[in-house]
Amino acid sequence: MKRLVLKRLVLALAAPLLAVLLAFPAAAQDWPARQPVKIIAPFGPGSTPDLVARQIADYFQTKFGHSFIVENRPGAGGNRGTDAVAKAEPDGYTLGVSIGGPLGVNAVLFGNLPYDPAKDFALVSLLVTQPSALGVNTALGVNSVAELVALLKKNPDKYNYGSIGNGSLSQLAMEAIGLASGTELQHVPYNSSPAAVTALIQNDVQVACLPAISLTTLAGVKPIKILAVSTAKRSPFLPDVPTLKESGIDVEAEAWNGLIAPAGTPQPIVDKLRAAVAEALAVPAIREKLATQLMEPIPGDAAQFRARIDADLARWTRVIREADIKVN
pLDDT at 1: 52
Q: What is the pLDDT of residue 30?
A: 86
CA separation for the pair 191, 200 (Å, rounded)? 14
CA-nearest of 101, 72, 249 to 166 is 101
Walk me through the domains of the chain, giving residue ranges and CATH numbers: 31-129+256-322 (3.40.190.150), 132-229 (3.40.190.10)
Q: Give the pLDDT score at 5.
A: 46
The CA distance from 134 to 322, in Å, is 21
pLDDT block averages, 10 residues each, the chain of length 328: 50 52 58 94 92 97 96 93 98 97 94 93 97 96 97 93 94 96 94 92 97 89 94 94 96 95 98 98 97 95 96 95 87
In this prediction, residue 3 carries a pLDDT of: 52
Q: To the nearest 5 percent, what fractions of the chain are helix, strand and coil?
A: 45, 20, 35
